[in-house]
Amino acid sequence: MQRRARTGLAVLAVVLGIAGCGSVSASTESPQPAGKSPSAISRMVCTEKAAGEIAQVVAAKASVTAPTWADHRYSCSYRYSQGTMVLSVKELSSWTETYAYFDGLAKTLHKTAPVKGLGEGAFVVGDGSVVVRKDWKILLVDISGLHGMVGSPPSSRDTVALDAAAVILDCWSGD
């Protein structure tokens, strides 16, 4: 029960904008198209600051692998003793591309439930992983490599995914 309360607080912090891990300021500009290198927003998912804030929320530290950038997808792995969680951001160049990619993930990853109050659209998939849409970016918190509970007190895999997504979305104050 204590873990569920923390998850609710993490999502509430995102909605209210009170947690704050990023240094990117809010922007009134239109979303930017994918470029030759990852945006500052995407790079946030693999920073020490984001890893530290995720560790606080899930009550477990992870070692974060060096990030990769391929096909406009920025990603890194968070390695816990219970396995690996992969955070990735797919950068797109239009609303049409973004909606098509988001809807495609819903089908291929087997969407099970929407998540309200997270980004501009979010859902959970069959293995508990979380997909979030924000502007022309899609965040995937893939927990398929986690085995068992994480943290102390222990959290379920799906709680870890929701908490990590909430922390990252708080970092994304604008793009």
What tens digit of pLDDT does each residue of 64-118 get? 999 999 999 999 999 999 999 999 999 999 999 999 999 999 999 999 999 999 9
Domains of the chain: total: 1
Q: Among 10-14, 107-111, 125-129, which is the least confidently predicted range?
A: 10-14
Query: Which residues have CB under 8 Å from 136's CB, separation 6+?
Result: 31, 32, 33, 34, 91, 92, 93, 94, 95, 97, 98, 175
| Confidence class for position 137, pLDDT limits 50, 70, 90 | very high
The helix/strand/coil state of 78 is: strand
Say which residue, 124 or 30, is predicted with more confidence: 124
Q: What is the predicted pLDDT for the residue at 1?
A: 40
Over range 10-30, report the average pLDDT: 45
Q: What is the predicted pLDDT for the residue at 155?
A: 82
Q: Among 59-63, 97-101, 138-142, which is the least confidently predicted range?
A: 59-63
Q: What is the predicted pLDDT for the residue at 9?
A: 38
| Confidence class for position 39, pLDDT limits 50, 70, 90 | very high
Please give the Cα distance from 57 to 154 (Å, whole number). 12
Say which residue, 109 or 157, is predicted with more confidence: 109
Q: Residue 164: pLDDT above 70? A: yes
Angle ∠(146,92,163) on CA atoms, nearest 5:
30
Q: Please give the residue range of the domain that contains residue 77.
A: 2-171
pTM for the model: 0.83
Q: What is the predicted pLDDT for the residue at 156?
A: 85
Across all residues in the chain, what is the average pLDDT? 84
Please give the Cα distance from 79 to 57 (Å, whole number). 16
Gyration radius of the chain over CA positions: 15
Q: Residue 3: pLDDT above 80? A: no
